[in-house]
Structure 1
């Protein structure tokens, strides 16, 4: 039985209450202590770097918990069989959402023997970790970090499972065009609001380029400060321009501010469509947004609710930690499980051997993906994909494309 199947079996058993997940302890083995020709190690350390404090601590803690859950699943399934049942050990570090802290913590974890790293939620932090990873020859698998430029540095030890910001922007424009055309009401003009950082700009630029190819006008396009609590002026500009659809690339609080402004200023829009939006597909959005966020759409990476194994993992997570599993956490779970599978394939705790096995991975993820994970020469998963979600009857549901849909998409999609 291969590592992925053993892990899936262990998680399913946990979801049924048959497996008690437990931590493990012992001496760490890093690059200086083990390679393919040495005696099999008893334990192999994976370092997890996430914002466990600060404004993104809720996601960071979920991601750290998911990393531990993945490690426990491997160990409960018998450990790394090709290394005589060697157990994985997770060392979690708090980046505090600070690039400098992420860099120093990555350095510390490598010095203390980590054979691989996973993280980190924020692209700026991941960029620094990637640099440390490359200098030290230790593989780094990014769970959540969308910025394209991270993998444009010629690195050979960094990998990304999720789609990049530009991939998400391109796919989002395609899906919006297909949804509206199928409904007999093809979108003509999109107003676009995007947070002013690198993430928002990258998603917008890719969306606009693809929209132009599809004959869709994107105007106006307005960047904004994501710390703003009132985005009424920006929404008014979109309404005044006569846009059919408002597209939004932002985080949770600013997306909520957009929703409040739309409710009072522009309820006549055909749709509000998130592009890699950090708010519209969150469970709490259905409680916090006007009208329960009804009909809001978002094209984003997502754990696949049509995948039985993914559902089992999500159910197990909620049972253990008492809260629904966010996609960010599922991406961490996939990243750690991919690393475990690479260690199994390499039959080694040597970081260089693990790196080579990661590069050749065909791991089947729990997040939406157009096939198995497949990394190109830059370390980007070329099969990374988004799915369109919509708030329907108080729940976030997958609605497009059809093969991933839980329910039929509603379009036009009035929000009040």
Structure 2
């Protein structure tokens, strides 16, 4: 890898509930056009495209990008569950850094249905079979949605180990809504109180409904280019990918009977450690992070997996306000998955867009002061974790 990959353009559309969505191809076209316009690049300049989505037929990526025109370039469709958008970004970054292409588009979208996630195929082995086996051995069976069982069980295990109170989890939702109030792309922007969060219907473990991300539709995109191409064409080179790592499950996911490991704590930590080592940046240098808060429990666990606070101190981290403006690190200034929404294929690229805006100083009322580096964390059960460090180019 000899080229440096710069994020020269980002774009997204406002996320919506399934009842208000446009078709996936329309959403994908709009996000791609927004990213290309932000970059100042015509679609004919793009040499490869990686398009992420979870729920859809094969070649949906072509259906979306053909609306821009048929340039004949390679279009690769990507599915890595909730880390799909970041997986598309990972491949785009590799293509640029390797010199395989000077300009690459990463696009993610999702047209979701109402209700909790369910398995789509009942006539073949489930990729979650091993996860279910561990979860059932540890905590029995339940009628709750399977993702809530995993992450709610992880939250319960953490709370039992460290004595974490239910209010701590609820405060994460309150913080999420407060951040989303300044984000025109977010689905839920109205404030909530700790009391309202705790009084919402119980789902599983410490989780109530207001602590679970909603099914969401949306799209986001990024244009990745080499520094040479960007300079040659007068593009914005102010943000580059300083380091990035993707990991998959380790033996500890399945062998320790630990629900926090089952939902990706260890693979997230491994990816973050690789990024810190490769970049020379330490967790103490991070002032803004977009992390995977599909449930409040996972945000809490991820604070420690990413090294933002020492093991066992997440409750104090929340109580002290170190996860928001005026504290040590602003987590999910966009409102995160809990409030911005979680259209699976788009989430990783929406996180990318938010952090690029933060580094450019274009985040408006969400702007974090003094941002020189920014961290992104995106996981998909089954599993994959992608951690990306963005930095201002000198």
Q: TM-score range by the shorter chain?
A: under 0.3
Say which one has the larger Rg. 1
Greater relative contact order (CA < 8 Å, ≥ 6 in sequence): 2
Query: TM-score normalised to the size of structure 2?
Result: 0.26
